[in-house]
Structure formats: C-alpha cells, structure tokens
Amino acid sequence: MATFSPDALSAITPEFSYAGEKSLSRETACRLLRADDAMLPSLLAAAQLARDRFKPAIITYSRKVFIPLTNLCRDYCGYCTFRRDPGEPGAHTMSPDEVMEVVRAGEPMGCTEALFSLGDKPELLFPQMRDALRHLGFKSTLHYLEAMCEKVLRDSSLLPHPNPGLMSAEWLNRLSRVSPSMGLMLESTSTRLLARNAAHDNAPDKAPAKRLRVIEDAGRQKIPFTTGILIGIGETLEERVDTLIAIRDLHEQYGHIQEVIVQNFRAKPGTPMALAHEPDRADMLRTLAVARLLMPSMNIQAPPNLSDPHYADLLDGGINDWGGISPLTPDFINPEKPWPHLAQLEQRSNAKGFELRQRLPVYPEFADHAASHSGLLADRLGTASDVNGYARRAA
C-alpha cells in the first residue's frame, strides 16, 4: 500500500498529518469519522491532498448498459426494491435476445460496459427459476450468466462486468475468462446486521464471512475486483471503519481490488427500511474522506445519482471515479434516482477542476491482470482500450 506524507497536512492538525504517513489506524479512522462541522473542511482538505497525490486531475466513469439478468433473488435485504418473488408484478428473467437488444442499443451510444446485475441464486429457492433455466438450457443462474457474458464479449464491442452475488472459487475462475472484472459489494462486516429485523435479516448471502471469502478467492486468482461499503444500514461508525479496513487489508495482501465503492443508503417506499434514517451529506463526505485516507492510492467511487442534486460535492471527499453511468438504461437498483446526463456530469466535473474520462469496466492499471485470464479477453481489451488503458471512445 503506497502512502504519502505531504507537509501541508501538518499545518492542519497533527491528526491529519498522521493520516497518510503510514496506514491509518482503526482508532484514528474512527476519530476522523466523528469529525465535527468545524473539523470537516480540514478532513476534506487532507483527503483531497491524498487523492491529488495519487489520482490527480482526472475523474473517470464507465459508460454502461445495465442488464438485470434476473430480479428473482433468494435474499430479502431490508432496503431492496430490485428483488422479486416469482409471480410478483415486475418479476422477470431476461432472454438472450433481450440481453443482446440492450447491448446493441448501447453500442452506438458509446457504451463499453455491460453490467450484469442480478439476484443471488434464485433457483435454490424457487422451482419457477429452475424451470426457466431448464427452458433456456442452463443448469444454474451462473451457467446462464457465463454464457451471456461470453456472447456479449464475442458478439459486441461491450465488455461484461458481472455482479452475481456469492461465487465459488471455481465460478470466479470461469467468469474471469469471459469478463475483465467482476464485483461483489462487501457492504458491511457487521454480523449484527443479520439479526432479526436488521438490514440483512433473511439475507443468507450477506453473511460477511462468505463475502470476504469470495473477495479473497478473487485475490488469489488475480481477478480485478470491485467491492465497497453501503453506509447507513444500521452499522456503527466503528463497524464502518472495520469494513473499510477489511477491504484495505485484502488489497494489501492480493493487490486485486480495482475500486472501492462508498454507497449511501437511500430509503425506499415499500421496503422494511422505508423510514430508516439516510446518511446526510456530511456523513457521506466524512466517510469518503476516511476511505481515501485509509486507502490513499486506490480508486474510490461514489454513485452520483444517490447524491443528486449535490453530487459534485462528493469530489471534495476525495473520490476519483463516478462509477457506471448509462445514457440508455435506468439504475434498476435505484430506479427513482436517475443518473445525471453525461454532459452535466462533465460540466460539473470540469467546474471542480477535473477532466472527465471514460474508462472500461476494468481500470487501466488492472487491464494486464484481466487480459491474462483468456486470449479472448486479451483480444477484446486490446480493441476497446486506448494507449493509456481508458476506453477508446472519447467521453
């Protein structure tokens, strides 16, 4: 883990000076996460110094289409409006033709990522999903996902980025041959959230140990991996720091975490957490800044649509990426929060002094790792990337 020691920090407070000289301690991170309004500007200044040292001048995004391959899911997270049971209005598993229709529509719009987001192993709970998969000719959702990723890779200019939930080491290996990166949100290392009426009550796939195991298995296989935290779902500030430190430690060991998402919980009508308190702007900024100071050289992302209309402020917390933005498909996970128009995103990034640049679903510094997993991937990445590893298409 690279660190930094800008003299300017010591002029702010000894606390922030310490941040970055060596890996930030849990104790210091917890203290910084409690920074009051008077301290917040100094904390943000420290985070910006760290970001500008390691990730200067450029803010990236991935132009994507969102493919909700199936919204059936065996978990029941307290904040989720994406999932459905079979027979519920809106329950749907996409056909291969529907997948390729979205991909084809995204190509002329300059999209370079096909984000496959889907429920976790619905066939384990629902016979209807087993029937649907049998009808499609697949044994499991992961077999179907693998086939669709390969089809997108072979038959389009887009690159797949699957988010299928928990995976075995064998499935990580299989999917790594047909996708340059993949993702699994850690969300939180707090086991308290699995308790009755907590956010992950009745969500067996959200057990932290299982998710940490997947991220570690991906590290052993050198798979460029996206993960992150979901803040405001009932975790304490200490647990939030523990989650960030778990991600940092895995990256220090394996060097494979290409991106850390800091996502803020938004309360959605009709969910068990509809009335839960949402993190406010200052809470989000403090968390971003602490994440940056814990992981100064890593890519840190926050979704702009979950902080609209003030999303440009997130740059003050030290992020260097906006995540996936689609000019075509809605955010099916947060359909009530549309993504900003790309022209607006560029204008607001420019106003803060950043150049907006389109990246691929794999970050430039991880592209070689991705390409090592299959000849097909190496070939497609070579075609899709420019000399610096960003998307060949201009932002």
Residue 387 CB, nearest approach to ligand SF4 (Å): 37
Q: Which one, 126 or 354, has the nearer CB to ligand SF4?
A: 126
Residue 200 CB, nearest approach to ligand SF4 (Å): 8
Pseudo-torsion of CA 298, 226, 309, 272, nearest 10°?
A: -130
Q: Which one, 72 or 245, has the nearer CB to ligand SF4?
A: 72
Strand intervals (E) in 85-191: 113-117, 159-163, 182-183
Residue 328 CB, nearest approach to ligand SF4 (Å): 21
Count of other CB atoms within 10 angstroms of residue 124:
13
Residue 205 CB, nearest approach to ligand SF4 (Å): 6
Residue 384 CB partners (closer than 8 Å, separation 6+): 112, 157, 159, 360, 391, 392
Q: Which one, 35 or 198, has the nearer CB to ligand SF4?
A: 198
Q: Is 259 helix (H, G, I), strand (E, B) or coil?
A: strand
CA distance 185 to 303: 13
Q: Which one, 165 or 219, has the nearer CB to ligand SF4?
A: 165
Q: Which residues bind ligand SF4 (CB under 6 A)?
A: 73, 75-77, 80, 82-83, 119-120, 165, 203, 205
- What string of DSSP letters covers 142-170? HHHHHHHHHHHHHHSS-EEEEE-S---HH
CA distance 56 to 357: 12
Among residues 385, 333, 369, the alpha carbon closest in space to that of 119 is found at 333
Task: Give the chain's length.
Answer: 395
Residue 90 CB, nearest approach to ligand SF4 (Å): 13
Q: Which amino acid is at 351?
A: A
Residue 312 CB, nearest approach to ligand SF4 (Å): 27
Q: Is 300 helix (H, G, I), strand (E, B) or coil?
A: strand
Q: Which one, 120 or 316, has the nearer CB to ligand SF4?
A: 120
Q: Which one, 218 or 370, has the nearer CB to ligand SF4?
A: 218
Q: Which one, 120 or 150, has the nearer CB to ligand SF4?
A: 120
Q: Which one, 172 or 233, has the nearer CB to ligand SF4?
A: 233
Inter-residue contact 381 to 367 (CB < 8 Å):
yes
Rounded to 5 degrees, what angle do the CA atoms 320, 295, 377 make?
Answer: 65
